[in-house]
Structure 1
Amino acid sequence: MRIVLLAFLSFCFSITSCKSDKVSEVIIETQEQLEARTISQKDIESIRYDDFGLSPDSQKAANDWQKFQELNTQIEVLKKGDLAYFSGDPLIIKTLMQELRTEIPKTLQTNEISARITALDTKTQKLNSLLRLANINKEEKINVIKEFLTTISNLNLQINKKFEFENNDVIKPE
């Protein structure tokens, strides 16, 4: 009897200790699902905001500002639907924003422009963090891109205002 019981327990133990292979499901993403997540150039072009460019005077002042030119280049790439730079390493984004602030030309060093750069830094880091997350829906990503583009446009507007005010020769009361 003991031998039968021992054989039965050994048999049960061997069955329970067998490794069971789980069948893994392969999830195939359809083209429609991929397009529903991917932000395209059309999506970015459909964003409505006031896009201010730099005036000729502002452009001259910002010509030697290398980090500003680099940022504008990346923004043009972003507008074409390529989000790689802004969804990349956050350290690169932080470094760009720090260098943008430290390399600002003397003619553009005002409190108003500095405040716009601070806002741009915040929106750039927000854009980077949201684009790096996989579970954020397309609408939220488009909204954060809109906030970023609006912020860079506001920086351009503030730079233009500085030179416009200087060109108006406003007489200040004594």
Structure 2
Amino acid sequence: MRIYLVRHAKTAWNDKGIWQGNVDIPLNKEGFEQAERLAQRFSNMPIQAIYTSPLKRSYQTAEVIGKKLSISPIKDSMLRECEISLWNGLTMKETLEKFADFYNEWSTNPRAQIQGVEPLEQVQQRMVEAFERITQNSFENVIIVSHAIAIRMLICWVLKLPIPLHKTFKLENASITAIDVTSQPRILYLNDMCHLEG
């Protein structure tokens, strides 16, 4: 079995470098173009199912892919982005100016209890739970459309990396990370964006 982890395509807030969290921002024009390129990339692959975060930017990405593959995406709230309402709508610079202590605690302590911010360990737990449930189905190839932090938490689990190390790799909008689940999960490739080139 192969799982394709897709980070949603671009939004206006991505272009501005603004934290989105669970704010329901739709794709922008470039985002829909990226989603079309994702759909083309998957068009010749035997995909059986598409699961997606219910947030618009993920669902719209999944919808464009699903239309090309004649598959209706399945919404799964466990695949949503990390709740970060304390600094939603801020840039990283603004976050560090206003909430440096909270941000540093959250970044380094996976169990940090900060009002309005979901602990990263909790994000990882629900992503792993969704992943294990999806991989128990009798599918061969599945697409999961989700978000940067959420996907990085799952990747850390697959690679057995401590959660704070999730910042040592990057996931671009509309990128694909493939996981083979034939025996134990293992990463086949990470942050692949060749479909967006040219």
TM-score by length of 1: 0.28
TM-score by length of 2: 0.26
**Larger fraction in strand:** 2
**Larger fraction in helix:** 1
